[in-house]
């Protein structure tokens, strides 16, 4: 990254009207090899990502496996320190907070994981799992805590009397509800949902999606919703960001993305979704080959090796991520502002 860019990040003034702002965020994981475990390179998991999330909205994040969605989410929660860049939560620079400040901030941000089977401790009762955060943060204890846990179970549609049951006594969908109850315990403002329905059957998936929407309306929650199922993302998101090899390639309102995709990768991704309509005839854009390794991303536009529109410049220069109008951002040399 050049000096000018460095300074731009330093000088950046956080926006006042958003809940979360991510600015030029990077995470490079060192890769070691050989007998002495030398560093032989980096996985550029997240490589210069900027976006914001407004209060009460749902921002969807889509992209293929390994493109950096989870790492981005983990950095917002500061479960991962960035290599470069900033995250602001309500205008506060998250990475500059001390332990005590971070502890207070943690209450505002929660996460729901993909796998309802492995994300819950099998030896803890539901009461302990959901109430743990209340204890850690000293919010309530004894009878009051139990009452709060039962309230939470009720909110997510579980039987409050099942408070002393263990995770294995619940179905997949019910376990995901436990995960949601746990996330809600401290009245957070932001919940990062990392593939919350990917492991669930369709009939259970619709229960959880409805629940997330109901809770958002009731508690004015803000979601970062990570998923690879585009139909699900369209359904739940107000705006959607599309990632490819550690970078955002397109970001705009959900309706706009699906009716007017601008980035060639987004177009290909859309046309690859199998749609549940056997009478639909459409032209498919089949991408050749695999996603390149994030250790060695292609020069210029990361997508140029698979792009059907690629020109000479695409292999040479990284395209800027620009607003083409109406907050429709795209990073492609061939799509300019109008």
Partner 1 sequence: MKRLVELKDLKTHFFTDEGVVKAVDGVSFHIGRGETLGVVGESGCGKSVTALSILRLFPSPPGKIVGGDILFEGKSILRKTEAEMRDLRGDHIAMIFQEPMTSLNPVFTCGDQIAEAIEVHQGLSRKEALEKAVDMLRLVGIPLPERRIHEYPHQLSGGMRQRVMIGMALSCNPKLLMADEPTTALDVTIQAQILELMKKLKGELGMAIMLITHDLGVIAEMAQRVVVMYAGKVVEEADVVSLFRKPLHPYSEGLLNSIPRLNRPKGRLHVIPGYVPNPVNLPPGCRFGPRCAYVEDMCREKEPELVDIGGGRLVSCWVRAGGRREEVA
Ligand X SMILES: Nc1ncnc2c1ncn2[C@@H]1O[C@H](COP(=O)(O)OP(=O)(O)OP(=O)(O)O)[C@@H](O)[C@H]1O
The site for ligand X (CB under 6 A) is made up of 29, 43, 45, 63, 65-71, 228, 294
Closer residue to Mg ion (CB): 71 or 205: 71
Closer residue to ligand X (CB): 163 or 208: 208
**Candidate residues 286, 325, 326, 338; the one interacting with partner 1 per rule CB under 8 A:** 286
Closer residue to partner 1 (CB): 125 or 198: 198
Closer residue to Mg ion (CB): 63 or 319: 63
Whole-angstrom distance, CA of residue 75 vs CA of residue 22: 10
**Candidate residues 87, 126, 291, 330; the one interacting with partner 1 per rule CB under 8 A:** 291
275 binds, among Mg ion, partner 1, ligand X, none (CB under 5 to 8 A by kind): partner 1
Whole-angstrom distance, CA of residue 163 vs CA of residue 150: 7
How near is the Cβ of 63 to partner 1 at its closest, in Å? 9
Closer residue to partner 1 (CB): 285 or 322: 285
Distance of CA 63 to the CA centre of its chain: 10
312 binds, among Mg ion, ligand X, partner 1, none (CB under 5 to 8 A by kind): none
The DSSP string of 59-113 is EEEE-STTSSHHHHHHHHTTSS--SEEEEEETTEEGGG--HHHHHHHHTTEEEE-
Cβ burial, residue 252 (10 Å; 0-12/13-18/19+): buried
Phi, psi for 310 (deg, rounded to 5): -55, 135
Closer residue to partner 1 (CB): 120 or 199: 199
Is there binding between residue 202 and partner 1 (CB under 8 A)?
yes
Encode burial over 230-244: b for 16+ CB neighbours within 10 A, e otherwise: bebbbebbbbbbbbb
How near is the Cβ of 222 to ligand X at its closest, in Å? 20
Map the footprint of partner 1 across residues 139-198, applying CB under 8 A.
Answer: 171-173
Stretch that binds Mg ion, among 37-45, 66-74, 82-90, 181-189 (CB under 5 A): 66-74
Is there binding between residue 234 and partner 1 (CB under 8 A)?
yes
173 binds, among Mg ion, partner 1, ligand X, none (CB under 5 to 8 A by kind): partner 1
SS3 290: coil
Map the footprint of Mg ion across residues 67-96, applying CB under 5 A.
Answer: 70
Number of other residues whose CB lies within 10 A of the CB of residue 258: 16
User: Which residues contact residue 279 at a Cβ distance below 8 angstroms, ignoring those fewer than 6 apart?
Assistant: none
Q: How far is CA 139 from CA 58, 202, 241, 315, in A?
A: 28, 36, 35, 54
How near is the Cβ of 60 to partner 1 at its closest, in Å? 12
Give me the helices (H) in 87-229, please: 99-106, 126-136, 142-155, 172-184, 202-219
Instruction: Count residues near partner 1 (CB under 8 A).
Output: 41
CA atoms within 13 A on the CB side of 84: 17
Closer residue to partner 1 (CB): 12 or 228: 228
Closer residue to partner 1 (CB): 21 or 250: 250
Is there binding between residue 31 and partner 1 (CB under 8 A)?
no
DSSP letter for 20, please. E
**Where do we find the tokens 């749902």?**
58
234 binds, among partner 1, Mg ion, ligand X, none (CB under 5 to 8 A by kind): partner 1
User: What residues line the site for partner 1 (CB under 8 A)?
Assistant: 64-65, 171-173, 201-207, 209-210, 213, 228, 230-232, 234-236, 258, 268-269, 271-280, 284, 286-287, 289-291
User: What residues line the site for Mg ion (CB under 5 A)?
Assistant: 70
């Amino acid at each position: 990254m050049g000096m000018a860019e460095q300074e731009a990040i330093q000088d950046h003034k956080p926006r006042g009207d958003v809940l979360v702002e991510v600015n030029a965020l990077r995470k490079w994981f060192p890769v070691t090899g050989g007998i002495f475990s030398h560093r032989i390179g980096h996985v550029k998991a997240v490589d210069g990502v900027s976006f914001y999330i407004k209060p009460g909205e749902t921002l969807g994040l889509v992209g293929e496996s390994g493109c950096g969605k989870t790492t981005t989410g983990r950095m917002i929660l500061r479960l991962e320190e960035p290599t470069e860049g900033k995250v602001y939560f309500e205008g506060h620079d998250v990475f500059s907070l001390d332990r005590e400040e971070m502890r207070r901030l943690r209450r505002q941000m929660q996460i729901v994981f993909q796998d309802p089977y492995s994300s819950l401790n099998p030896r803890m009762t539901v009461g302990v799992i959901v109430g743990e955060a209340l204890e850690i943060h000293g919010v309530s204890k004894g009878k009051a805590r139990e009452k709060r846990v039962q309230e939470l179970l009720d909110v997510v549609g579980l039987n409050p009397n099942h408070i002393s049951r263990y995770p294995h006594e619940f179905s997949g969908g019910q376990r995901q509800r436990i995960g949601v109850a746990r996330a809600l315990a401290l009245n957070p403002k932001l919940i990062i949902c990392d593939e919350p329905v990917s492991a669930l059957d369709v009939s259970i998936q619709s229960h959880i999606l409805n629940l997330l929407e109901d809770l958002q309306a009731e508690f004015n929650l803000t979601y970062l919703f990570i998923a690879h199922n585009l139909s699900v993302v369209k359904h739940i998101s107000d705006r959607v960001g599309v990632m490819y090899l550690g970078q955002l390639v397109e970001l705009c309102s959900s309706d706009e993305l699906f009716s007017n995709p601008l980035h060639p990768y987004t177009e290909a991704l859309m046309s690859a979704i199998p749609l549940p309509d056997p009478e639909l005839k459409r032209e498919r854009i089949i991408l050749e080959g695999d996603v390149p390794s994030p250790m060695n991303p292609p020069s210029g536009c990361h997508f140029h090796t698979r792009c059907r529109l690629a020109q000479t410049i695409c292999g040479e220069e990284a395209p800027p991520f620009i607003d083409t109008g109406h907050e429709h951002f795209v990073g492609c040399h061939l799509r300019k502002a109008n």
